[in-house]
Amino acid sequence: MGTALTQDQHFAYVLRIGDNALILGHRLSEWCGHAPILEEDIAQTNIALDLIGQARMLLSHAGAVEGKGRDEDKLAYARDVLDWRNCLLVEQPNGDFADTIARQFLFDVYNHLFFTALTRSSDAELAAIAEKSVKEIAYHRRHSSEWLIRLGDGTDESRSRMVEALNRVWGYVDELFTMDEVDDAALAAGIGVDLAALRPAWDQGVSDVLNQAGLDLPTVTWSVGGARSKGHHSEHLGFLLAEMQFVPRAYPDSAW
Amino acid sequence: MGTVLTPEFPIREPSDIAEIRALLDAVTDPEIPVLTLNDLGVIRGIEVEHEDGARSVRITITPTYSGCPAMITMEMDIRDCLLRAGIDRVEIETVLSPAWTTDWMTENGRRKLAEYGIAPPVKGEPSGRRALFGEAPTVQCPHCGAEETKLVSEFGSTACKSLYQCNACLEPFDYFKCI
């Protein structure tokens, strides 16, 4: 057993989950009007909508846990880059469609396992949000898995792009499973998930789909983390926030 | 968001509850106007209280999808409907657990959906119970009734629908997907 979960740690724990959902949701929303085909434009924005909806519930809950009067909007629009606690993977740019699918697939497999485990959280609100979200995430996982197979097992061009895309984001995977003191305390309190314990199921889930796509596991050896624990983000997050936060920062507290 | 405790509603005046439920039959899904909120199964509780001759109603609802933009409109429509009917005070609370499922849609709702041209969710096919690469359910074409249909896209015009096409009459149609 670790030390007792402090209120700050509880807040940090919920915030990390909410930030992942909001940043990935925003990234996917950037495809609106730009996806390769109409059906995919609709699919990407539907998934974005699910994630942003989940982020609203999670950030509202984080604000309530923190108890300092910050609501979902304050947390989404009035925090600068160092205060964000999403993982590096979700903030990576959309790139081409293979890059988007690679990022989404690796995250969806993780997210599905994570939220399935989170439904057993002793934080009743968090468990309820997870119970709601996991049904949506199952659809996301199926969608990105199907695209990974379609592109990996498609033409020479789609296959090489898919391989390159997986190589580009593979180094961000370890961060998803790295436990720190907040994770340890949340786990000990029965609120959090044992991230390291999800890894074997993730490895299996990912290699099953890669096999179907006729692709090998990436052999990338670099690995980087530190965003969800310490706010050490890549340069991409600042640009994302600049766009996402511009209007509420330019016109604070305006309503329409 | 509201609390997640499953509320236990004291039913003080059973006749009131029936009256409120009947009033709410006039409130429809803003995206699918043939479906009432009762048909959808998003109304999870009705509580009526009388105090000093004033009537307060508390409605508990649950969202269909986390990001469904229709939820806020549904809340406004519920409030509007009840205030117009002379209820003095309306409170709306959102609960997340148990999570909404298409299994809660009424038979009447399923029939109206099909008549409207949207294939209703196939029973017993919630996404969670289906293997991630399981076969898609057999969805009947709402236009010609044929069962030879194909999935075009898992995601459709709203969060709750996917896009299908009929191989017999060739018409595209929406399918209210299982969740």
User: Which of B67, B152, B179 is closest, CB to CB, to A39?
Assistant: B152
Contact B43, B7 (CB under 8 A): no
Q: Considering only alpha carbons, which residue of chain B is nearest residue A46? A: B159
Residue B129: band (very low, low, confident or very high) from pLDDT cuts 50, 70, 90: very low
- To the nearest whole angstrom, how far is the Cα of B67 from the nearest Cα of chain A? 4
Contact A224, A42 (CB under 8 A): no
pTM of the predicted structure, to 2 decimals: 0.91
In this prediction, residues A44-54 reach a mean pLDDT of 96
In this prediction, residues A31-37 reach a mean pLDDT of 93
Write the pLDDT tens digit of every residue in A144-170: 999 999 999 999 999 999 999 999 999
User: Which of A47, A128, A136 is closest, CB to CB, to B96?
Assistant: A128
In this prediction, residues B24-50 reach a mean pLDDT of 92
Model ipTM value: 0.82
Q: Please give the pLDDT value at position A135.
A: 93
Set of chain A residues whose Cβ sits within 8 Å of the Cβ of B163: 39, 42
In this prediction, residues A1-28 reach a mean pLDDT of 92
Q: Is the pLDDT of residue B131 over 90?
A: no
Helix (H) or strand (E) holding A185: helix A181-188
Set of chain B residues whose Cβ sits within 8 Å of the Cβ of A131: 96-99
Edge to edge, what strands does the sheet with B89-94 contain?
Answer: B43-51, B54-61, B89-94
Average pLDDT, chain A: 96
Write the pLDDT tens digit of every residue in B76-93: 999 999 999 999 999 999
Interface contact flag, A132 B96, Cβ < 8 Å: yes
Least confident of A23-37, A126-140, A186-200, B55-69: B55-69
Residue B6: band (very low, low, confident or very high) from pLDDT cuts 50, 70, 90: very low
Set of chain B residues whose Cβ sits within 8 Å of the Cβ of A40: 153
d(C-alpha A94, C-alpha A226), whole Å: 21
Set of chain A residues whose Cβ sits within 8 Å of the Cβ of B66: 50, 53-54, 56-57, 132-133, 136
* A52 contact B CB<8A: yes
d(C-alpha A224, C-alpha B123), whole Å: 45
Interface contact flag, B132 A125, Cβ < 8 Å: no
Residue B13: band (very low, low, confident or very high) from pLDDT cuts 50, 70, 90: low
